[in-house]
Amino acid sequence: MHQYLAAYETHKSAAHEAFTMLKTWYDRVVYRVPGMDTVIRLAWRLECGRTVEEAAANEYLYRWRLAIRDFDQCGGGNGAVSVFGAPHTLGL
């Protein structure tokens, strides 16, 4: 975890910029997902050479991958969206 926190310290400002950008792509609250903090995950993407825009886009896609599951892996709802919900209602 140390390397991720170091990346956050290095890219703190840009990671928060990426998070602000990500929030504009949502039509609802950006919920926390289990595991690593979103801004730290964005900082790690920046550390790996992504731009602010690419880091935000990767996070958006990551959250869609969490949201969309095979039908037999989902319970409740419309049968195609996990408990994490979809980033945007477009596409549902």
Q: What is the pLDDT along the chain (92 residues), one digit of tens a residue?
A: 799 999 999 999 999 999 999 999 887 788 887 788 999 999 999 999 999 999 999 999 888 877 776 555 555 555 555 556 666 665 54
Domain membership flag for residue 37: yes
Q: Structural domain of residue 30, as residue ranges? A: 2-73
Residues 6+ apart with CB under 8 A from 20: none
Domain membership flag for residue 87: no
Domain membership flag for residue 86: no
Contact 44, 16 (CB under 8 A): no
Residues 6+ apart with CB under 8 A from 16: 39
Domain membership flag for residue 79: no
Kindly tell me the sign of the dihedral angle through the C-alpha atoms of 43, 49, 55, 58.
Answer: negative
Domain count, the chain: 1
How many whole angstroms separate alpha carbon 48 and alpha carbon 42? 10
